Structures are given as structure tokens and as C-alpha cells.
Amino acid sequence: MSRPELIAPPEIYYGDTEAKKYTNNTRIQQIQAEMTYRALELLNLPPDEPAFLLDIGCGSGLSGEILDEEGYLWAGVDIAPSMLEVALEREVEGDLFLHDIGQGFGFRPGSFDGAISISVLQWLLNAETSHPTSSPPHRLNRFFTTLHAALRNPARAVLQFYPTSDDQVQLITQIAQRAGFGGGVVVDYPNSKKARKVFLVLYVGDGGAAQVPRGLENEEPNEAEGRVKFEKRREREKRREKSGKTKVRDRDWILKKKDLYRRRGKEDVPHDSKYTGRKRKAVF
Amino acid sequence: MVRLITHNLLACHAKGCTTNNFPLQIKDAQLALREAEFNPDFLRGFIPRIEWAALVSAARQLGDESLPNEVPEMIDDDFLRGLHHVLLEIHIDEGAMVCPNCGHVYPISSGIPNMLLAEHEIG
Ligand SMILES: C[S@@+](CC[C@H](N)C(=O)[O-])C[C@H]1O[C@@H](n2cnc3c(N)ncnc32)[C@H](O)[C@@H]1O
Ligand SMILES: [Zn+2]
């Protein structure tokens, strides 16, 4: 199958139909969730300091829902109106912007504690018009320069993407470095055709640590490891509950919120049921 | 959904627009109030990042006069609750943000600001 970014521009490719299909596909949900958790791990934020994050190419909010659950506040940008509309329907908490990241950001210096981007950067590698501002290097340069400025010092940005060649990885890394970023590429499961994942881990300042983390080495993300990660998350949540800073929404909170939406005349607020506010299953 | 927390971080990014491009003026705003979880730790950490005068004037443009002109020296729970409301519970559903310098209009529809620039405005 041909890559989506070669078929049509993103705002066309992710039209109403595809945006829904993409978001409702359980396989996609699972993969994007796994990569989001991994990106958060690589962000290496100081524990127990609530952070304000940027989700670059946030789409329909698959990552955003995880950011909400994990207690982060965030803003998301995406170029596809249909994806953003699905994000609105799913009632993510973050502020959403219709934005072409290749045009650069207008956020003030030091706005964000970190940034993530899941499966987006490959879209910046194709030129759509012959105008000089649409060449991939120009757009990548605008993107990285303004992203660097928008992050605090120290901070990290973790961007998972699907390169087609090592040249692309090199081009992207070079432009990021010229924009002032340190860091580099982390490849998880490098020997697995299916599970291999490329993360660009970028630092402003020292990014909070000196060394680029290592990629995961196993052939595949296996069951046991999934459990280990989940174990860690559960521990974190337990700690949070203990410290009285629980960010896990309880049923009362959700009911209150739904009631609020109904009173505002919002349609399509899901009915309350025994599932409302249930504990979510592990994603692994 | 755009709230004052991100409005306070946002400057105009049109080509050559580098001075007097913040804060964007809010026009014809239709608001929605939505309860959000109160997180005092987050707010305390976020205060140094706020351009206070811009936040106060944006809140007033939206009809909320509750914020003091200066960040108080003693940050107590009352102040944090008021700040929480202004930053995180007032949503601008419709309207526009206008650059005070170049006049670029960023329309807001269904709570989502359109930040796209025309080709000649791209830096
Ligand atoms: C594969 S989807 C990933 C969405 C989301 N990050 C996730 O993990 O579900 C790629 C997204 O990148 C967005 N995108 C592509 N090019 C973009 C650009 N130039 N600016 C902003 N978003 C862009 C698309 O609209 C789409 O929502
Ligand atoms: Zn301007």
C-alpha cells in the first residue's frame, strides 16, 4: 500500500470519512497509544510537576486522551479540520488549533514544558507547490526554529515519524540541529520490520539529561514488557492517589461534566451507563 | 477549544510581524463556561509564564473583571481558584483574534482558531 503522504495533502487525505475510520480503528488506537506512552517516557518530565505540553499534529486526539488521563494540560495543532472535529466530538481537554506546522509557530518563548508528535513529520517531506516557502527544507526549518523557541529551557521534544530513507532522517536531524536542538534519533526494535519505530528526541539546553536514551532492543514489544510498563503506570497512579493529587477522573466528575454539556445544549452527550467512569483497560 | 491559557502564549506569526504582535485582540467572542479540574500545583508552576497584563486585559475583553492588576505577593487558594477559572474554564467558541500590529485576523469557529497563513504571509 502506498504511503498516505504520497496520496494527497493531509487536510484532504484526512477528510471526514478517513478521520472517522482512522480514529475508530482499534489497531491504530493501540499503536498510537503505545507510541504516545513511549514518547512520554522519552520526554522524561520531572515527576509530579504538572506540565503544559504541545501535541504537534494532534489529529483526532488519540494521544490527547492519554495526556488527559495522565494529568497533563496541553494544546494541540493539526492541519486537517476533519481530524480536529473528531477530537472535539471526543471531548479532549486540550486547546485545539487549525495550523500548518510547516508555517512555524507563533507561541511565545518558553511556552511549553515539552512537545510530542506522533506519526506526523513524514508529512513535511513532500512539497505541495513550487513556492519557495513550500520546499521541505524551508518548512522543516520554520517548524524546528519556532518549536525550539516555544519550548522552555531545559525541555525536550519527542517526535515519532515514518521516514522512507536514512537520507530523510539525516535531513531532518540536521535541520533540527541547526535550529538549536541537541539530541538525536532513538530507534526502538531496530531489527523488527513490523515493530521498528523511529523517535527524534530533541533537547533544548541539556533537555534535563546529557545522553540520548537508548532504543528498546527486543525483537518485538512482547507481552511481558507491556505488563511491566503498565505496572509502572499503575504504581504512578497509586502514588498520585496516595498524595491526594489524583488525576484519574471519577464517575461523579464525569457525570457533572456531562450534565454541564447537556445544559449548554450540546447534542450527542453519551448516555450515562454502568460504563460511565469505569476504569479503562490497559492499552497493552 | 481555545482558552485564555493558550491565548496568553500566542503571538502573531505572519511574516515580518515581530513587534507589537502580542496579545492578539479578541473580537466578537461567544463564550462557553466549562468546569475544569482544579490543579493548584499546575497553576503555581505556570504563573511565571503568564504575561499578566495581557491576561488581565483579555479577561476584561471577555467581561471577567475578577483578576487583580498585579500578581499578588501572597499566592493563596482564593487567588488560584480565580486564576483557574480565567485560564481554564472560559472557552472562546466563536469570534476572532486580531493582530494589533499587522491586523491579521485569526478566525475562531467551533472553538478552534484558524492559524493558517496565506502564501505571502509565510515567513
Ligand atoms: C497519522 S495522523 C496522526 C495523528 C495523531 N498524532 C495520532 O497519533 O493519532 C497524521 C496527522 O498529521 C497531520 N498533519 C500532517 N501534516 C501536517 C502539517 N503540515 N501541520 C499540521 N498537521 C499536519 C494530519 O492532519 C494528521 O492528523
Ligand atoms: Zn501580525
Per-residue model confidence as pLDDT tens digits over A96-116: 999 999 999 999 999 999 999
- Give B17 Cα–ligand 2 centroid separation in angstroms: 5
Cell of B50: 503568564
- Closest-CA residue of A relative to B119 is A133
Q: What is the mean pLDDT of residues A227-235?
A: 46
Sign of torsion over alpha carbons B39, B40, B44, B50:
positive
φ, ψ of residue A34 in degrees (nearest 5):
-60, -45
* Nearest of B18, B19, B17, B10 to residue B96 by alpha carbon: B10
Q: What is the value of ipTM here, to two decimals? A: 0.98
Q: What is the mean pLDDT of residues A80-91?
A: 97
- Give B97 Cα–ligand 2 centroid separation in angstroms: 10
Give the structural domain span for B42: 2-121
Cell of B62: 471577555
The total domain count for chain B is 1
| Top mutation candidate among A78, A134, A158, A172 for ligand 1, by most atoms within 8 Å of CB | A78
Q: How far is B29 from chain A (nearest CA, A)?
A: 16
* pTM for this prediction: 0.86
CB contact under 8 A, B35 and A97: no
Q: What is the mean pLDDT of residues A55-84?
A: 97
With bands split at pLDDT 50, 70 and 90, how would you rate the model's confidence at A213? Answer: confident
Which residues, 6 or more positions from B93, have their beta carbon under 8 angstroms from its beta carbon? Answer: B1, B30, B31, B32, B108, B110, B111
pLDDT score, position A255: 55
Q: Residue A35: what residue type?
A: M
Note whether B37 contacts A: Cβ–Cβ < 8 A: yes
Q: Are A181 and A78 in contact, with CB atoms under 8 Å apart? A: no
pLDDT score, position A251: 52
Q: Which one is predicted more confidently, A233 or B44?
A: B44
B41-89 confidence digits (pLDDT tens): 999 999 999 999 999 999 999 999 999 999 999 999 999 999 999 999 9
Domain ranges in chain A are 4-237
* Pairwise CA distance, residues A157 & A170, whole Å: 17
* Nearest of A264, A241, A253 to residue B33 by alpha carbon: A264
Mean pLDDT, chain A, whole residue set: 84
pLDDT score, position A275: 44
pLDDT score, position A1: 59
Is residue A96 in contact with ligand 1, taking CB distance under 6 Å? no
CB contact under 8 A, A142 and B122: yes
Note whether B34 contacts A: Cβ–Cβ < 8 A: yes
| A4-237 CATH | 3.40.50.150
Percentage of chain A exceeding pLDDT 90: 67
**CATH number of the domain within which B112 lies:** 2.20.25.10
pLDDT score, position A282: 39
Q: Which ligand is nearest to the CA of A82?
A: 1
